[in-house]
């Protein structure tokens, strides 16, 4: 863990200043649907495309529907060109504090992982709080994973080579899915990629005390997201909410945990790495310098995003695509 974060790049500082001036903190928001719509418009704008990046030209991206009991989720499927047969599959869960975000938010990273590995990356949506509090997101992502496995032939994917991936709140949901896959007898995962994951709902770790007011995510934001997500379940110690609180980490899929040095959530990743290592789970860990929370969705303003995607490609290729 880096004691003193590396200086941010000028474009990262400029983005952070603009974000602070123009955005409404989640703890002050009253209309979350309006904030989501505003965020979607920004992502689709010319300036937003520069910040959030574009999908890789080496993949075909299509939208599908995932019908579940009583609801239908949509998902983006990133399928690489030039490869045949049933491909390995990575199921990717977007971030946004369980309150914001969409599959489009992580499309840059997801599509480049698909292009770089030859795997299909499927990014399902899930219901968002506060309209749909915990455990709605847990249920949706777990059932979406099951649906993908059950419909492997239709999707032309090889679910014997299956991984989960997620960033921030999505990293939480990916970690939960990886634990459930062991506890509930499948599906078998080859790997889990946890990008600055939120794995503990309540504890204030040293990184949050040290960096309470970093760009994109502050300590106040973190607490507000947790309250909005958990709703009436606030106070639960269930590992479905806080995967760091699991009784056992034995047998979990090999993990790649990525963190950012300007992120109050940093120590969530550090503590989860330590928990997995104590259980004998293979873990690759990297903290990216001069990086802010959410940087893998911000390739236009955080230079480390490209390096992090390359690292994920290497990990997924070795653990999933080339796995025997």
**Which are the catalytic amino acids?**
168, 263, 293
Cα four-point dihedral sign 69, 72, 74, 77: positive
Look up residue 287 and give its two tokens: 């903290």
Q: Which of 92, 95, 84, 96 is nearest to 110 (CA)?
A: 92
d(CA 97, CA 221): 9
In degrees rounded to 5, what are phi and psi of residue 74? -105, 160
d(CA 162, CA 113): 14
d(CA 285, CA 5): 17
Strands (E), the chain: 59-68, 71-80, 87-93, 120-124, 157-167, 191-195, 255-262, 283-292
CB 108 within 8 A of CB 116: no
d(CA 293, CA 253): 24
d(CA 321, CA 317): 5
Give Cα separations from 245 to 34, 186, 241 (angstroms).
34, 21, 9
For residue 236, what are the β-bridge partners? none
Give every strand in the sheet of 59-68, ordered side by side: 59-68, 71-80, 120-124, 87-93, 157-167, 191-195, 255-262, 283-292
Mapped onto helix, strand or coil, the DSSP state of residue 282 is coil
């Amino acid at each position: 863990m880096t004691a003193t974060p590396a200086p941010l790049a000028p474009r990262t500082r400029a983005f952070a200043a603009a974000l602070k001036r123009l955005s409404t903190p989640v703890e002050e928001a009253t209309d979350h649907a309006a904030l989501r719509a505003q965020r979607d418009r920004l992502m689709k704008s010319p300036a937003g495309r520069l910040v959030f990046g574009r999908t890789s030209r080496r993949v075909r991206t299509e939208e599908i529907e995932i019908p579940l009991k009583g609801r239908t989720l949509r998902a983006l499927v990133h399928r690489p060109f030039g490869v045949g047969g049933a491909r390995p599959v990575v199921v990717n869960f977007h971030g946004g504090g369980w309150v914001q975000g969409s599959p489009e938010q992580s499309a840059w990273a997801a599509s480049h992982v698909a292009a770089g590995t030859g795997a299909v990356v499927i990014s399902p949506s899930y219901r968002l709080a506060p309209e749909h509090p915990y455990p709605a997101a847990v249920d949706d992502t777990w059932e979406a994973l099951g649906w993908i496995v059950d419909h492997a032939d239709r999707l032309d994917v090889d679910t014997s080579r299956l991984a989960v991936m997620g960033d921030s709140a999505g990293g939480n949901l990916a970690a939960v899915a990886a634990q459930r896959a062991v506890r509930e007898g499948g599906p078998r995962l080859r790997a889990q990629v946890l990008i600055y994951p939120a794995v503990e709902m309540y504890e204030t770790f040293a990184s949050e005390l040290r960096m309470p007011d970093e760009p994109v995510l502050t300590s106040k934001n973190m607490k507000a997201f947790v309250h909005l997500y958990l709703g009436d379940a606030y106070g639960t110690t269930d590992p479905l909410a806080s995967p760091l609180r699991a009784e056992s980490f034995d047998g979990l899929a090999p993990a790649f945990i990525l963190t950012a040095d300007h992120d109050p959530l940093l120590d969530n990743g550090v503590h989860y790495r330590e928990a997995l290592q104590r259980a004998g789970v293979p873990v690759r860990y990297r903290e990216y310098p001069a990086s802010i929370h959410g940087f893998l969705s911000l390739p236009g303003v955080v230079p480390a995003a490209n390096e992090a995607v390359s690292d994920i490609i290497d990990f997924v290729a070795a653990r999933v695509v080339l796995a025997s």
